[in-house]
Structure 1
Amino acid sequence: MDEEVVTELTISDGTLFEPKDFYPKFSWSVTPQYCMFGDGSRTLTPSEISIISEKSDFICLEKDHAWKELGYAEMGAKHEVAAFKQIKPDIKVLYYFNSAYAWPFTSYNENFTTNKIDDYPELKKFLIINEETGELEHRNNIFFFDVLNPDFRRWWVETVVSGVTFSGADGVFIDQMHGFSWLRNDKAEEVKLTMGEMMASLKEKLGADKILLGNNAARLEDVFPVIDATMFEHYSETVTNSKENLLKEWDDMLRIAKAGKISIYRFGVEVENDVSIEGLSGSEKENALEQLSKERLEYYHACYLIGAQPYAYFQYGWGWRLWKGPLVDYPELNKPLGLPKGAYKRVIENGWEFTREFENASVWVNTETKEGKVSWK
């Protein structure tokens, strides 16, 4: 790649990323971070607002944030959107909604509970019923939405748009876009197609200036064309964190960038089941996980940097709660990074060592031994 023509938006194959005007600002000056968090009990303090806004220009409020303090999660989102915008007007803040689980934290979903749902037959029709038992499908009493119901799809799109509009958010993070296809294998293809149609309808109703981010959507062929951004969640040490999958994801990140879409590379050390956390609980476990996250940062950071493209963001911690990473200081992520000097290189053909150069850092990773090194210049 000719270094003289490299810019912040140069993709690793030499082409240029074409951002939309409603995207967040992007820079390689330091590691670009995305933050996603929630505390169901309360709103953020001014100090927490400041810490998070200094880390990132791109954040999301989790599904239950501040619902106990303010009554409903959309109230929590509205409160925090205003708080972040007051000190950082250009920050992009996303609302959260789930397309599979009927989490009862918003006013829109408050009646999807075991003690209320029978009083709302019009809502009960939106849920999946076990064909053998006739009972509502659930996980820990959280019901499952039925994407194959057209009335549900219309209600869901209107509900998500209402939440985004009410909160003043810059878009929405949509979680769990599988439609529970494994519960009805004979209709799995229909579920996939219908999920794509529902996301297309949502994007249309949100408006052209709102970000639609789909979790784990990079390879959902019916969803990917209509979204603006996707997350690689890395929820399994043996599946999503495998050396084979990480290699596929670096190719995905290139494809996503060439499509002019945002990607988020999210890692959490909680999936490692490290010996340092065995038998621990409560604050002892949280403290051990924080320490583990600091010890393992270099490897996961290197995994991100090997495949990172313009508008690819890094998210790190050990969970989705406010106290599981967003408030932790990781000094390495604030070191001057600089522009990438081309694509990654595979050290040995068919091997699992990779390198990549940035203006201010040399990156090496071995995804087989799960080791990484970021050498700062």
Structure 2
Amino acid sequence: MLTAAGALEASERMPAFSWDTVPLYMHVRKVTSFTPKEIEHLSKFPLITFEKTTGLKEFGSTERGTLKAARSVKQVNPETKILYYRNILVHYSGYDANKKLKAIDTPFLVGRSGNTNLVRGKVPAYDLSNKEVQAWWLKNARDVCASKDIDGLFVDGNIKALERSYLRGQIGAEKKDAVTKAYHQMMERLPKTLGKDELVVANVVRARFDEAGIEYLDYFDGSYIEGFEHAVGQVTRKDYVAKGIAAVQKAARSGKIIAFTVGTGSYADTDMDAGADRQKRKKSPLQQRLTYTLSVFLVCAEKYSYFMLSGGYGVDGSDSKLWMKDFPEFSRPLGPPKGPAQKNGYVYERSFEHADIRVDIESETAAITWK
């Protein structure tokens, strides 16, 4: 619905949401076109991010591939919210916008040895303190998000821009502080640049920060969640996860979008199909991983929280064994929560209309009792 001024009402900007079943998120890339069957599958998700390299091989750039994929999904389900992926610091090839970057003097950070491939020793990082780089990045985001088939922007690389120590040794303290300051300036400008109808979701809530990234959420409509279990610094894994849960709960309760994405680890086996033998599924390491991570999500979830169990974002060939797999847990009736989760040490419990959750983050075990 449009207001008198032509802007979407707040509720219309947000993805569709229901407690009927587990609310799901999709984060994906494919260098060629998605097939009609894949588009049908994608159209069932309320929120999708098309990653870098989407459509690159077939359409020549991430921008064109993303727009093609988004248009195809929208033709099946116009209500699906689709985000365009951009990294705020790491330079990736495959974007049409990169052609104009060549006209900018020193667009990349330079290490003490003169090297510009500073990220993982392989790719450049943007010098955000360069005003021309800022304008270039913001213009590309605005141009793609102006499409009627794109509903907003996914901003990655925030941790690298904000983490005080990242690249500090290579580029020096003064330059890193300037980059971080420029990052904040860009994020303040971003909503106005894109327009108030566009969503902005960032990869920013992380327990490694003092306030677990909550201190940066005012810039965004929500946060993607990854690296949830990988403790950073002098802290145990269980305490790191507990801090992360508290942060996600706080963000979700404030009305922010949560795109809670967890990996399968080494458990991407194939005995999880809906038709698999029940006892076989119950004993599967992947089943235990799904039960545990889904339980952690449900401990945190509020309206506009979405879950994804990922075997890999790339779905070309055999990159992702879980691509288009359907799990019984995602179809079971869930119902709204009866209240917030209760915490006792490292054990969390929460009840929904059709399910009771118990998860122990110290032993990494969980149980979901479906009613």
Output the aligned Cα RMSD. Answer: 2.7
Alpha carbons 1:104, 1:110 under 8 Å: kept:
no
Name the SS for the 2:356 alignment partner. Answer: strand
- Stretches of structure 2 that go unaligned for 5 or more consecutive residues are 1-8, 207-211, 270-283
- 1:286 aligns with none
Determine the structure 2 residue equivalent to 1:159: 140
Match of 1:369 in 2: 363
Q: Do the aligned partners of residues 302 and 49 (structure 1) sit closer, same or farther apart at CA in structure 2, a change above 3 Å counting?
A: same
Match of 1:102 in 2: 91
| Equivalent position of 2:278 in the other structure | none
Secondary structure at 1:21 match in 2: helix
Taking the TM superposition and a 5 Å limit, the aligned residue runs for 1:43-62 are: 43-54=33-44, 56-62=45-51
Corresponding residue number in structure 2 for 1:186? 173
* Aligned counterpart, 1:265: 260
> Structure 1 residues 316, 101: CA separation in 2 closer, same or farther (over 3 Å shift)?
same
Question: Normalising by the residue count of structure 2, what TM-score does the alignment of the two structures yield?
Answer: 0.82
- Post-superposition CA distance 1:109-137 (Å, at most 9, x none): 2587xxxxxxx3x3351100012x11213
1:312 to 294, 305, 314: 305
Residue 222 of structure 1 deviates from its aligned partner by 6.4
* One-letter identity of the residue aligned with 1:269: T
Equivalent residue for 2:12, pick from 10, 13, 21? 21
Structure 1 residues 85 and 107, CA, compared in 2 at 3 Å: closer, same or farther? same
Q: What SS is found at the alignment partner of 1:314?
A: strand
In the alignment, the residues of structure 1 paired with residue 177 and residue 337 of structure 2 have an alpha-carbon distance, to the nearest angstrom, of 40
Q: How does 1:128-139 map to 2 (within 5 A)?
A: 128-131=109-112, 133-138=113-118, 139=120
The secondary structure found in structure 2 opposite 1:25 is coil
List per-residue Cα deviations over 1:326-352 (Å, max 9, x = no partner): 4111221121100101111124xxx21
Q: Equivalents in 2 of 1:201, 1:81: separation in Å?
A: 25
Q: Mean alpha-carbon deviation: is it higher for 304-313 or for 248-257?
A: 248-257
| Partner Cα distance (1:103, 1:275) in 2 | 28
For 1:75, the equivalent position in structure 2 comes to 64
Letter in 2 for 1:229: G
**Is the CA contact 2:252–2:304 (under 8 Å) kept in the aligned structure 1?**
yes
> Who is 1:208 aligned against?
196
**Counterpart amino acid of 2:46?**
D
Distance in structure 1 (CA, Å) of the matches to 2:244 and 2:285: 24
**Whole-angstrom CA distance in 1 between matches of 2:26 and 2:291:** 18
Match of 2:240 in 1: 245
Deviation at 1:249, TM superposition (A): 2.4
Q: Distance in 2 between matches of 1:235 and 1:341?
A: 25
Partner in structure 2 of residue 144 of structure 1: 125
**In the alignment, residue 346 of structure 2 is paired with which amino acid?**
W
Q: Does the aligned pair in 1 maintain the 2:224–2:260 contact within 8 Å?
A: yes
Contact kept, 8 Å, 2:21 with 2:330, in 1: the verdict is yes
User: Closer, same or farther in 2 for the Cα pair 1:167/1:103, shift >3 Å?
Assistant: farther
TM-score normalised per structure 1? 0.80
Q: What is the Cα deviation at residue 86 of structure 1?
A: 0.8
The 1:27/1:19 distance shift into structure 2, 3 A limit, reads farther
> CA offsets, 1:263-301, max 9 Å, x none?
12110023xx5698xxxxxxxxxxxxxx75444111111
Residue 325 of structure 2 corresponds to which residue in structure 1?
328
Deviation string for 1:124-167 (max 9, x for gaps)? 51100012x11213345321111222221111111111122257
Alignment partner, residue 5 of structure 2 = none
Structure 1 pair 111/241, CA: closer, same or farther in 2 (3 Å)? farther
Q: Indicate the residue corresponding to 1:345 in structure 2.
A: 342
Aligned residues: 331
Q: Is the 8 A contact 2:204 2:224 kept in 1?
A: yes
C-alpha distance in 2 between matches for 1:247 and 1:220:
14
Q: Choose which of 179, 186, 189 in structure 2 pairs with 1:198.
A: 186
Change over 3 Å in CA distance of 1:53–1:326 after alignment to 2: farther
Q: Deviations over 1:158-216 (max 9, x none)?
A: 11111222573100111111227522362455433321221121211100000101112
Q: Which of 1 and 2 has higher RCO (CA within 8 Å, sep 6+)?
A: 1
Identity of aligned residues (%): 26
